[in-house]
Structure 1
Amino acid sequence: MPKTITLTERFGHLVTTPSPKKKIERDSISVSLVEEALRCAEARGVSREILLEAAGIAPATLESPRARVSPVQYGRLWNAAADALDDEFFGQDAHPMRRGSFVLLCHAALSSRDGEQALARIASFLRLVLDELVFEPDIDEKRMRIWLNDQGAPKTMFAYATGFILVYGLLCWLLGRRIPVLAAHLRCAEPAASDEYRLMFCDELRFDAPRSFVELSAECATLPVVQTPATLKRFLRDAPANFIVKYRNPDSLAARVKTRLRQTAPTDWPEAESIAAALNMAEATLRRRLKQEGLTYQAIKDALRRDLAIARLAHTRETIPQIADALGFAEPSAFRRAFRKWTGVRPADYRRER
Structure 2
Amino acid sequence: MSARTISIHHIRGALAGARRKGIDLDPLLHQAGIAPVLLDDHRARVTAEQAARLVRVLIATLDDEFMGLGPHRSPRGTFAMMCHAAVHSADLRSALRRATTFYELFPGTPRFRVRYRGGAALVELDIRGVRDPDHFMCEGIMIIWHGFCSWLIGRRIPLRGMDFGYPAPPHREEYDLVFGCRSTFGRGGTTAATFDRKYLAMPVVRDRAALSEFLRHAPADLAAVPDYATSAGQSVRRILEHAAPARLPSLDAVATQLSLSPQTLRRKLAEEGASFRQHRDDVRRDVAITALTDSDDTIEDIAARLGYADPSAFHRAFKRWTGTAPGAYRSART
TM-score range, shorter chain: 0.7 to 0.9
How far off is 1:265 after superposition?
Answer: 1.0
Q: Secondary structure at the match of 2:124?
A: strand
C-alpha RMSD of matched pairs (Å)? 2.7
- 2:151 equivalent in structure 1: 173
138 and 279 in structure 1: CA distance in 2 versus 1, 3 angstrom threshold: closer
Alignment partner of 1:118 is 2:98: no
- 2:10 equivalent in structure 1: 33
Higher relative contact order (CA 8 A, sep 6+): 1
| Contact map agreement 2:304 2:311 (CA 8 A) in 1 | yes
| Contact map agreement 2:71 2:108 (CA 8 A) in 1 | yes
CA distance in 1, matches of 2:256, 2:244: 19
Alignment partner of 1:349 is 2:328: yes
CA distance in 2, matches of 1:68, 1:187: 25
Q: Secondary structure at the match of 1:97?
A: coil
The 5 A counterparts of 1:261-280 are 261-280=240-259
Residue identity (%): 34
310 and 139 in structure 1: CA distance in 2 versus 1, 3 angstrom threshold: same
TM-score (norm 1): 0.82
Worse-superposed segment, 68-77 or 142-151: 142-151
266 and 183 in structure 1: CA distance in 2 versus 1, 3 angstrom threshold: closer
The 5 A counterparts of 1:231-250 are 231-239=210-218, 240-246=220-226, 250=229
TM-score (norm 2): 0.86
Alignment partner of 1:59 is 2:39: no
CA distance in 2, matches of 1:64, 1:114: 45
CA distance in 1, matches of 2:98, 2:280: 41
CA distance in 2, matches of 1:104, 1:112: 14
- 2:64 equivalent in structure 1: 87
Alignment partner of 1:108 is 2:85: yes
Which of 263, 272, 291 is matched with 2:270 structurally?
291
What is the identity, as a one-letter code, of the residue corresponding to 2:238?
Answer: T
| Contact map agreement 2:126 2:190 (CA 8 A) in 1 | yes
How far off is 1:91 after superposition?
Answer: 1.2
Worse-superposed segment, 251-260 or 186-195: 186-195
How far off is 1:80 after superposition?
Answer: 0.8
- 1:70 equivalent in structure 2: 47
How far off is 1:108 after superposition?
Answer: 2.4
What is the identity, as a one-letter code, of the residue corresponding to 2:302?
Answer: I
- 1:182 equivalent in structure 2: 160
- 1:12 equivalent in structure 2: none
Provide structure 1 residue ranges, at least 5 long, that are not aligned to the other structure: 1-21
- Listed one character per residue, the Cα deviations across residues 16-70 of structure 1 (whole Å, up to 9, x for unaligned) are xxxxxx443xx22111111111222110122110111111111232232122111
- Listed one character per residue, the Cα deviations across residues 232-291 of structure 1 (whole Å, up to 9, x for unaligned) are 3443334323443246x6222323322222322112222222232333333223322322
- 2:186 equivalent in structure 1: 207
Alignment partner of 1:323 is 2:302: yes
Alignment partner of 1:337 is 2:312: no
| Contact map agreement 2:159 2:194 (CA 8 A) in 1 | yes
| Contact map agreement 1:93 1:131 (CA 8 A) in 2 | yes
How far off is 1:140 after superposition?
Answer: 7.1
How far off is 1:185 after superposition?
Answer: 4.2
Provide structure 2 residue ranges, at least 5 long, that are not aligned to the other structure: none
How far off is 1:212 after superposition?
Answer: 4.4
121 and 345 in structure 1: CA distance in 2 versus 1, 3 angstrom threshold: farther
Aligned residues: 330
How far off is 1:112 after superposition?
Answer: 2.5
- 1:47 equivalent in structure 2: 24
How far off is 1:186 after superposition?
Answer: 4.5
| Contact map agreement 2:5 2:47 (CA 8 A) in 1 | yes
CA distance in 2, matches of 1:244, 1:23: 7
CA distance in 2, matches of 1:85, 1:153: 16
Alignment partner of 1:260 is 2:239: yes
| Contact map agreement 1:61 1:345 (CA 8 A) in 2 | no
Q: Secondary structure at the match of 1:178?
A: coil
